[in-house]
Amino acid sequence: MELTTSLGLIVPELVLAVSGLIMLLFAAWGGNEASKPVSIACCVALGGAFALVAPSVCGGYSGPGTLAFYGQLRIDAFAGFAKLMIYASAGAALVVAPRYFDRLNAMKPEFAVLVIFSALGMSIMVSAADLISLYIGLELTSLASYVLASFLRDDDKSAEAGLKYFVLGALASGILLFGSSLIYGFTGSTSFAGISAGMAGGLSGGMLFGLIFVMAGLAFKISAVPFHMWTPDVYEGAPTPVTMFFASAPKVAAVALLARVSLEAFGSQPDAWQQIVTFAAIASIVVGALGAIGQENLKRLLAFSSINNVGFILIGLATATVAGASSMLLYLVFYVAMTVGSFVALLMLTDAEGKPLETFADIKGLSTTRPALAWCLLLIMFSLAGIPPLMGFYGKLVVFQAAVEADLIALAAIGIAASVIGAFYYLKFIKVMFFDEAVDRVQGKADKAQWALLALATLAISPFAWLLTGWLASLADGAAAALFFAA
Amino acid sequence: MSGVPILSLMLLVPLLGAVACFFAEAKLARTIALVATLVNLALGIAMWASFDVGGAQWQFTERADLFGSFQWALGIDGIALMLIMLSVFLMPICILASASIEKRVGEYMAAFLFMEVLMVGTFAAQDLFLFYIFFEAGLIPMYLIIGIWGGADRIYASYKFFLYTLLGSVLMFIAMLWMVNVAGTSDIPTLMQYDFPVDAQTWLWLAFFASFAVKMPMWPVHTWLPAAHVQAPTAGSVILAGVLLKLGGYGFIRFSLPMFPEASAQLAWLVFALSMVAVVVTSLIALVQHDMKKLIAYSSVAHMAIVTAGLFAFNVQGLEGAMIVMLSHGLVSGALFLCVGVIYDRLHTREIDRYGGLSINMPKYALFFLLFTMASIGLPGTSGFVGEFLSLAGIYQASSWVAFVCTTGIILGAAYMLYLYRRVAFGEQKNADAAAMPDLSVREWVMLGPIAAAVLWMGVYPESFMAPMRADIAALDARLASARPEGDARLWIGEPAPVVEEEAHGGAH
């Protein structure tokens, strides 16, 4: 009985796992010609999983009925909300990838399969209710990601990115495992509920060590300062569609996982980790903003921008309130839209032979040669800078609102003042595209799928989306409430 | 009129116009922009005509639950009405003044119309977050206007403008979040009546001050203004001086004073001190400028300092005077920038020395320029006099020393403006190319004529403009009454003189 219920709960994951395995077989026998059908099939699988998860979010599922496999997984609205974002961004990566790899003759069907497995791992991550399932999900995601980063085998930079990601990722996993073992040793449980109960009586030195190691391991995965060093190199070296994937889906998953671990497993001792998160938040905002200023490479710049954004998301976590968790989810929604939009725009910047252009010098005066693309980028950049009426501002609004409600006024004031530094390099983007003389290097044609994605992302961050905020906020509140129901 | 959502319409018309201009050809875009702004002006006049003076404080209110955490809430009182009128009045003139723009006309017009949406929205918003969105979003079109269509040093100016104002506003944003959290509502009329704890008021006041002082701009955070003005195209300068600077004053009168009366009283010394410095220092700086736009920009800072001092005088004359100075300065400095634009279009330089003796070859131009110069100085019969006299009378009641120092601003104002006028319009025609410039065209007549009429109207019969605001200013004065004595104890010098009060009333009517 338990098994049937559990299997019923994880149908979306089953869909992904089974289709991933089947596609792997296809890929093994079909060769490179199978790339296109495999990609399409994987998109369909992701779409199916998306549709299957949606009801749990709309219904705000929470409570004991969401536990599967004797408390290993928790399939609640919070996990569902994160999964929707993960599947959407994985799907976006699949849509834009073939064109990029085709030019290099590097398109292989394994790409789509790896993305699917990575998404599956992320599903497990965000649903994890136990340190064991947490680790399984995390490693499944990471292993797939390492391969994806070095997907262009002949390219030195891509190989370097993969290697760096692997070495540092393995180290982070090791730290996380060490922390987990300490926590297990001192609380006697691997389940989040058990850990929370074990910590309720007080925090011993061993537990504190374990907690710090677990937080450090997870901070690496979300690339929060001071565990952010790998991000610019990996983002720059990895193929652009993969970078887009890294900047969106795994980030959502790791943030959701961090929230679940902090609020469920360590929920009885919020004071112990709030300081850590607060520090990481402010450090990420400042380092992300300052680091981006000197960058000439657009991918590196967006890497720093993602570090900067993680800082704002962590402010929501630092509150340790329902409103804070809800604000993180809302911020993530628009962060994903902005990230996908900016990377799709980046993919559309190619010269006449289709070679990607990645520096500021290449996009000078883009607004006169490619007005539509430049205006979309302008909206996305102002949105990233958090200027109203664009939706990036809404993300900041909810996060800072949660911080102020939780009486973290100093954190909010410092965070928002530092965001002005960030505005500087987003403005540089606009300055280069709109104020400088045109160089007309961007010659390549973009396909319809790219335009559609860019238009969709721009629409999502445009002022029209304000009309959706009421509905989105209620969904996010339901999801956050589910998280706290469990805790 | 109750059935027509006129404020939403006034936002919708320029918004649609902006979208249309964005995709239109240059010539069509000019027409669309002119029509849209004229329609908005007509709507504004209709609104003023149906505004019930002495009726409800908030009129034309609209409420719609469109967003999750806040409302689409619009509505105006007399103060907002006057500032909206100023915006919609200046907009068609700005569009006409943009004839010399030839680069990317559609986008230019779209940016201006979008700017109009945001300005009207800022004055009409009745929800704190809605206000912030309109207030802050103005950065986007202005950044583009300066950066794309500006002068040689436009990039530095656009960055400076953007980052200065952004840094000021984000602190206000945190203060707003705190207020909404404590008061449990983001409705501005409710918040205006809400009594925040006195110790928190100081922090909130400072956060709002950071934003409005930059926007105003007050000394020493005014340095973005000359840079932005000099580099912006003519119409950009007009909007910047005419309306955007008023956002700071509007912010003080709508937020800082009614929401934090005690903090305002406690910190009035700060405002007075900065205003006194500004009046003297920026006037002296204006005196030595060689660039006409820079000179007028510095004179704006000096005039705005009289506004801030008048606002924090905590009495009816000071508040009314500050409002009239704002309206008058909106017209006069806008017109002065247009005057600079007229000759800049002909000779492509703003160097004062390159002109001279223009009254010989451009008599009509010299007449208009003289009128606006005098209005800027504050000659009786022009709008400048009414505002400056009233606000100085109000300031005198609060502190005679502040009034004394601020009055030197008028004298210095006369000095730099007359000096400017002498060098440009009088004297020898020492530059042949300047002497060959033709007089005003019909288009320029149409631009300057209405402003001149408005300036004289406001100077001769200011009651038209003061009547709608009277009840709101009285309400604000009553709201401030409880805090006033605490402030006055330190600020009052010598015996309160009832004679002054009589004089002040005499000036008002």
Chain segment B448-496, per-residue pLDDT in tens: 999 999 999 999 999 889 888 988 888 888 888 887 754 443 444 455 5
Instruction: Write down the pLDDT at residue A22.
Output: 93
Instruction: Write down the pLDDT at residue B497.
Output: 52
pLDDT band at B502 (very low <50, low <70, confident <90, very high): very low
All structural domains of chain B with their residue ranges: 283-470
Half-sphere exposure of residue B504, counting CA atoms within 13 Å on the CB side?
24
CA–CA dist B108, B144 (Å, integer) = 9
Please answer yes or no on whether A387 and B136 come within 8 Å at the CB atom.
yes
The mean pLDDT of A212-239, rounded to a whole number, is 91
Between vectors from CA B283 to CA B277 and to CA B288, what angle results, nearest 5°?
Answer: 130
CA–CA dist A191, A202 (Å, integer) = 18
CA–CA dist A60, A71 (Å, integer) = 19
Number of domains making up chain A: 1
- Which run of H or E residues covers position B72? strand B72-76
pLDDT band at B498 (very low <50, low <70, confident <90, very high): low
The mean pLDDT of A249-254, rounded to a whole number, is 93
Joined tokens for residue A456: 């969709």
CA–CA dist B359, B299 (Å, integer) = 23
The mean pLDDT of A403-407, rounded to a whole number, is 91
CB B396 within 8 A of CB B500: yes
B133 in reach of chain A (CB within 8 A): yes
Per-residue model confidence as pLDDT tens digits over A283-335 = 999 999 998 888 889 999 999 999 999 999 999 999 999 999 999 999 999 99
ipTM field: 0.90
Per-residue model confidence as pLDDT tens digits over B338-375 = 999 888 888 888 888 888 888 888 888 899 999 999 99
Task: Pick the residue of A393, A396, A421, A432 with the most B CBs within 10 A to test the interface with B by mutation.
Answer: A393
Instruction: Write down the pLDDT at residue A326.
Output: 93
The DSSP code sequence of B416-481 is HHHHHHHHHHSS----HHHHT-----HHHHHHHHHHHHHHHHHHH-THHHHHHHHHHHHHHHHHHH
Q: Among B197, B259, B181, B132, which residue's Cα sits nearest to residue A401?
A: B181
The phi and psi torsions of B59 (rounded to 5 degrees) equal -120, 165
CA–CA dist A461, B274 (Å, integer) = 40
| Residue B501 pLDDT > 50 | no
β-strands A67-68, A73-74: how paired? antiparallel
Residue in this structure with the two tokens 């020492």, named with its chain if needed: B430
- DSSP secondary structure letter of residue B243: I
Q: Which of residues 151-210 of B touch A (CB under 8 A)?
A: 154-155, 158-159, 162-163, 166-167, 170-171, 173-174, 177-178, 180-181
What end-to-end distance do the CA atoms of chain B give, in Å?
Answer: 30
Half-sphere exposure of residue B88, counting CA atoms within 13 Å on the CB side?
31
pLDDT band at B43 (very low <50, low <70, confident <90, very high): very high
The mean pLDDT of B297-313, rounded to a whole number, is 90
Residue B187, SS3? Answer: strand
What end-to-end distance do the CA atoms of chain A give, in Å?
Answer: 26
The mean pLDDT of B156-181, rounded to a whole number, is 89
A485 in reach of chain B (CB within 8 A): no
Please answer yes or no on whether B66 and A435 come within 8 Å at the CB atom.
no
Burial class (CB in 10 A: 0-12, 13-18, 19+), B58: middle
| Residue B108 pLDDT > 70 | yes
Q: How far is CA A341 from CA A249, A271, A392, A458, in A?
A: 14, 37, 13, 7
Instruction: Write down the pLDDT at residue B2.
Output: 53
- Which run of H or E residues covers position B62? strand B59-64
The mean pLDDT of A48-70, rounded to a whole number, is 86
| Residue A346 pLDDT > 70 | yes
Buried b (16+ CB within 10 A) or exposed e, A220-236: bbbbbbebbebbbbbbb
Residues 6+ apart with CB under 8 A from A307: A223, A224, A225, A228, A231, A284, A287, A288, A291
Joined tokens for residue B56: 């409800």
CA–CA dist B3, A132 (Å, integer) = 63
Residue in this structure with the two tokens 């004062």, named with its chain if needed: B352
Share of chain A above pLDDT 90, in %: 55
Task: Pick the residue of B11, B169, B173 with the most A CBs within 10 A to test the interface with A by mutation.
Answer: B173
How many CB atoms neighbour CB B270 within 10 A? 15
CA–CA dist A276, A46 (Å, integer) = 35
Instruction: Write down the pLDDT at residue A87.
Output: 95
Instruction: Write down the pLDDT at residue A487.
Output: 55
Give the gap in angstroms from C-alpha B60 to the nearest C-alpha of chain A. 23
The mean pLDDT of B307-312, rounded to a whole number, is 90
| Residue A486 pLDDT > 70 | no
Joined tokens for residue B416: 């730099």
Amino acid at B193: Q
The mean pLDDT of B209-238, rounded to a whole number, is 87
The mean pLDDT of B420-441, rounded to a whole number, is 84
Q: How far is CA B146 from CA A231, B211, B293, in A?
A: 35, 20, 14
Mean pLDDT, chain B, rounded, equals: 86
Facing residues of B291 across strands? Answer: B351
CA–CA dist A351, A366 (Å, integer) = 13
Instruction: Write down the pLDDT at residue B209.
Output: 92
Give the gap in angstroms from C-alpha A466 to the nearest C-alpha of chain B. 6
CB B386 within 8 A of CB B458: yes
Amino acid at B327: L
CB A15 within 8 A of CB A52: yes
Mean pLDDT, chain A, rounded, equals: 90
Residue in this structure with the two tokens 């569009």, named with its chain if needed: B95
Residues 6+ apart with CB under 8 A from B323: B79, B82, B249, B253, B387, B466, B469, B473
Overall residue count recorded for chain B in this entry: 509
> Where on the phi/psi map is residue A354: left (φ > 0), alpha (ψ -120 to 50), or beta?
left
Residues 6+ apart with CB under 8 A from B483: B261, B262, B264, B265, B314
pLDDT band at A186 (very low <50, low <70, confident <90, very high): very high
Residues 6+ apart with CB under 8 A from A51: none
CB pairs under 8 A between A and B: 90
| Residue B505 pLDDT > 70 | no
How many CB atoms neighbour CB B52 within 10 A? 10
CB A121 within 8 A of CB A112: no
Amino acid at A16: L
Domain extent at residue A332:
2-486
Give the gap in angstroms from C-alpha A116 to the nearest C-alpha of chain B. 34
Q: Looking at beta carbons, which residues of chain B come within 8 Å of A387?
A: 136-137, 139-140, 166
Maximal C-alpha separation, chain B: 67
Instruction: Write down the pLDDT at residue B70.
Output: 82
CA–CA dist B289, B310 (Å, integer) = 27
Dihedral (CA of A46, A51, A52, A53) sign: positive
- DSSP secondary structure letter of residue B313: T
| Residue A354 pLDDT > 60 | yes
Instruction: Write down the pLDDT at residue B198.
Output: 86
Please answer yes or no on whether B68 and A416 come within 8 Å at the CB atom.
no
Joined tokens for residue B314: 């905590």
| Residue A46 pLDDT > 90 | yes
Instruction: Write down the pLDDT at residue B507.
Output: 42
Q: Which of residues 63-82 of B touch A (CB under 8 A)?
A: 65-69
Residue in this structure with the two tokens 């409570």, named with its chain if needed: A63
The mean pLDDT of B101-120, rounded to a whole number, is 89
Q: Looking at beta carbons, which residues of chain B come within 8 Å of A405?
A: 181
- DSSP secondary structure letter of residue A321: S
The mean pLDDT of B266-285, rounded to a whole number, is 90
Instruction: Write down the pLDDT at residue A280.
Output: 92
Closest residue, chain B, to A466 (C-alpha): B67
Beta strands in A60-186 (DSSP E): 67-68, 73-74
| Residue B42 pLDDT > 90 | yes
Residue in this structure with the two tokens 């938040």, named with its chain if needed: A281
Amino acid at B88: V
> Where on the phi/psi map is residue A154: left (φ > 0), alpha (ψ -120 to 50), or beta?
alpha
Q: Looking at beta carbons, which residues of chain A come within 8 Å of B147?
A: 430-431, 434-435
Q: Among A476, A414, A12, A481, which residue's Cα sits nearest to residue A252?
A: A476
| Residue B402 pLDDT > 90 | no
Between vectors from CA B212 to CA B210 and to CA B214, what angle results, nearest 5°?
Answer: 70
Q: Looking at beta carbons, which residues of chain A come within 8 Å of B134?
A: 389
